[in-house]
Amino acid sequence: MTIQINSDNNLTIHEEFRTQLQSQISEELRRFSDHITRLEVHLSDENGHKDALNDKRCMVEARLQGMKPIAVTNIANNHEQAVEGAIEKLKTTLDSKIGRLNNN
């Protein structure tokens, strides 16, 4: 499973944070690794450099073998929370999709 992390122009991702995110995502989605070929994580700050509540956005797109990509989005007060929320949404969606495949 390849993980690519992208950010908008308002955000610089330091290598330490990138490594931490990749480890966290790999660990959380390990049980789906047979189905996921690639993950694209897009982090953004919706209000630029202005401080605001719930303006950090994480969109995760999962590319699955033999299926259309699945995308989920989460918005939170910081990027860590946004990523955690997006991962939880993706796990729920993958459980549903892969569960349906296994039942057929």
Give the relative orientation of helices 79-103 and 15-28 as an angle to the nearest 10 degrees. 30
- Return the SS3 of 64: strand
- Which whole number is the average pLDDT over 19-46? 93
- Which whole number is the average pLDDT over 85-97? 94
Q: 7-11, 21-25, 26-30 — which is least confidently predicted? A: 7-11
As a whole-number percent, the residues of the chain with pLDDT over 70 amount to: 89
> Which pLDDT score is estimated for 49?
65
Which residues lie below 8 Å from residue 64, measured CB to CB, with a gap of 6+? 35, 36, 37, 70, 97
Question: Would you place residue 66 in the very low, low, confident or very high pLDDT band (cuts 50, 70, 90)?
Answer: confident
Overall pTM surpassing 0.95 (yes/no): no
> Which pLDDT score is estimated for 55?
81
Q: What is the mean pLDDT of the chain?
A: 88
Q: If 0-12 CB within 10 Å is exposed, 13-18 middle and 19+ buried, where does residue 102 land? A: exposed
In contact, 76 and 56? CB cutoff 8 Å: yes
At residue 10, what are phi and psi to the nearest 5 degrees? -85, 0
CATH topology of domain 2-103: Double Stranded RNA Binding Domain (3.30.160)
At residue 15, what are phi and psi to the nearest 5 degrees? -60, -40
- Which whole number is the average pLDDT over 48-55? 66
